[in-house]
Amino acid sequence: MSQAVSAISIKGLTKDFAVTLRGVKLRAVDALNLEVAEGQVYGLLGPNGSGKSTTIKIILGLLEATVGDVRVFGVPSNKVEARRNVGYLPEAPYFYRYLSGRELVRFYARVCGVPSATLKARVDEVIAWVGLSGAADRRVGTYSKGMLQRIGLAQALVHDPKLIVLDEPTAGVDPVGSAEMCELILKLKQQGKTVLITSHLLAQIEDVCDRVAILDRGKLIVEGSVNELVGQRDRQALIVDPLPAADIEALKGWLAERGHALNSVEQPRARLDQLFLSKVSRPGRPGGASAGVGSNEVPLDDKPKA
Ligand SMILES: Nc1ncnc2c1ncn2[C@@H]1O[C@H](COP(=O)(O)OP(=O)(O)OP(=O)(O)O)[C@@H](O)[C@H]1O
Ligand SMILES: [Mg+2]
């Protein structure tokens, strides 16, 4: 049986940049090997300057590899055909501020060859999908950071690509916006899409990614499934109602008789982001606002109350 083609296959990738006129080079990516299977959400992690965006730009054919073989669904990444299957949300995207969100997505739809007959419906559909229908006719220059990332996601999805590459999609976005971006990423996974994502928000990466790779100075230093990497197989947690000290002692004795140790007794804590998300307004949830979009809109003739 033939092996399934990886969504992304990177073999022996090295990228050098010439950084001085005298030919001094900076090795941004160093002998990188990586396979991203179709249908996975894959996290590319690493400190600033570790080569994540450079790797992404090579996957997208925006930069040429110095050495190595990079393929997208089996097609060399420097071929135009490879790009047809990829949607891209760049790091710190710059969008023309005088276009409305709808005009912007329409522009990318044309660039990506979405057929005219279906273009309007597709643009509307993808804008609704990212929760921006209410703000689609506002100028992009008036959008919040969270809205900019959403419209960026809409333009990345408009041609229905099989692979979506998101370079720091939650940079500068508040926890509500970030959580919603994660929900959208998981929905993409449910649709069978492959997602490559970089982020410095590691808790979020842990929540959405199947596998991760960690780069450091261009080199791959860790790769594996999130469960394998952070699951503690030699530990187990039992969550119980609060116990009196005497019962804990009795439990310790009971476990010791059976050759087991009670390693720690602690009060579980909710994560701060969970607390935040439970307190502030969220779209589509009781008492919530609408996607951070027009959520605090008031009619123009409404005077502020003293
Ligand atoms: N066009 C370029 N010319 C010269 N050097 C570059 C260029 N692009 C990137 N670099 C260098 O390559 C290295 C990797 O940069 P890259 O942008 O890939 O890092 P990154 O992991 O995406 O970092 P960040 O988390 O800050 O986004 C850095 O040292 C950077 O300065
Ligand atoms: Mg980067």
User: Which atom of ligand 1 approaches the CA of 91 most closely?
Assistant: 27
More confident residue, 250 or 293: 250
Ligand lying nearest the CA atom of residue 28:
1
- Residues 225-252: what's their mean pLDDT? 90
More confident residue, 271 or 296: 271
Cα of 26 vs centre of ligand 1, distance in Å, is: 9
DSSP for 197-208, please give it: EE-S-HHHHHHH
Per-residue pLDDT, 34: 97
Per-residue pLDDT, 237: 86
Cα of 46 vs centre of ligand 2, distance in Å, is: 9
Ligand 1 pocket by Cβ (under 6 Å): 17, 19, 26, 28, 46, 48-54, 91
Contact 36, 42 (CB under 8 A): yes
215 pLDDT band, cuts 50/70/90, is very high
Report for 201-210, 265-274, 275-284: range of highest mean pLDDT? 201-210
Lowest mean pLDDT among 87-91, 110-114, 120-124, 293-297: 293-297
Tell whether the model's pLDDT for residue 289 goes beyond 50.
Answer: no
Protein residue with its CA nearest to atom 4 in ligand 1:
17
User: Which atom of ligand 1 approaches the CA of 54 most closely?
Assistant: 18
Tell whether the model's pLDDT for residue 134 goes beyond 50.
Answer: yes
CA distances from 147 to 49, 105, 127, 131, 274 (A): 26, 13, 11, 9, 22
Cα of 62 vs centre of ligand 2, distance in Å, is: 14
Average pLDDT, the chain: 89
**How far is 109 from 103, CA to CA, in rounded Å?**
10
Tell whether the model's pLDDT for residue 288 goes beyond 50.
Answer: no
Residue linked to tokens 């396979």: 35
**Most informative mutation of 17, 20, 32, 220 for ligand 1 (most atoms within 8 A of CB):** 17
Protein residue with its CA nearest to atom 30 in ligand 1:
49
Per-residue pLDDT, 292: 47
Protein residue with its CA nearest to atom 7 in ligand 1:
17
CA distances from 213 to 86, 140, 203, 209, 228 (A): 20, 34, 15, 10, 12
**How far is 105 from 117, CA to CA, in rounded Å?**
16
**How far is 222 from 91, CA to CA, in rounded Å?**
23
User: Which atom of ligand 1 approaches the CA of 15 most closely?
Assistant: 12
Tell whether the model's pLDDT for residue 290 goes beyond 60.
Answer: no
CA 282 to chain centre: 20
Per-residue pLDDT, 287: 42
DSSP for 56-83, please give it: HHHHTTSS--SEEEEEETTEETTSHHHH
- Residues 44-60: what's their mean pLDDT? 95
Tell whether the model's pLDDT for residue 75 goes beyond 60.
Answer: yes
Tell whether the model's pLDDT for residue 282 goes beyond 80.
Answer: no
Domains of the chain, first to last = 37-65+75-227 (3.40.50.300), 242-290 (no CATH)
Ligand lying nearest the CA atom of residue 46:
1
**Most informative mutation of 53, 57, 202 for ligand 1 (most atoms within 8 A of CB):** 53
Tell whether the model's pLDDT for residue 170 goes beyond 70.
Answer: yes
Protein residue with its CA nearest to atom 27 in ligand 1:
48
DSSP for 243-299, please give it: --HHHHHHHHHHHHHTT------------HHHHHHHHS--TTSTT--STTSSTT---
The CA-based dihedral angle spanning residues 27, 32, 37, 43, taken in that order and rounded to the nearest 10 degrees? -50
Tell whether the model's pLDDT for residue 295 goes beyond 60.
Answer: no
Angle at 169 between CA 164 and CA 175, to 5 degrees: 135
Per-residue pLDDT, 267: 86
Tell whether the model's pLDDT for residue 306 goes beyond 60.
Answer: no
Tell whether the model's pLDDT for residue 294 goes beyond 80.
Answer: no
Per-residue pLDDT, 277: 79
Q: Which residues pair with 26 in a beta bridge?
A: 17
Ligand lying nearest the CA atom of residue 19:
1
- What are the residues whose beta carbons fall under 8 Å from the beta carbon of 285, sequence distance 6 or more? none
For strand 86-89 and strand 75-76, is the pairing parallel, antiparallel, or unpaired?
Answer: unpaired
284 pLDDT band, cuts 50/70/90, is low
Per-residue pLDDT, 93: 79
300 pLDDT band, cuts 50/70/90, is low
More confident residue, 98 or 280: 98
Per-residue pLDDT, 78: 92
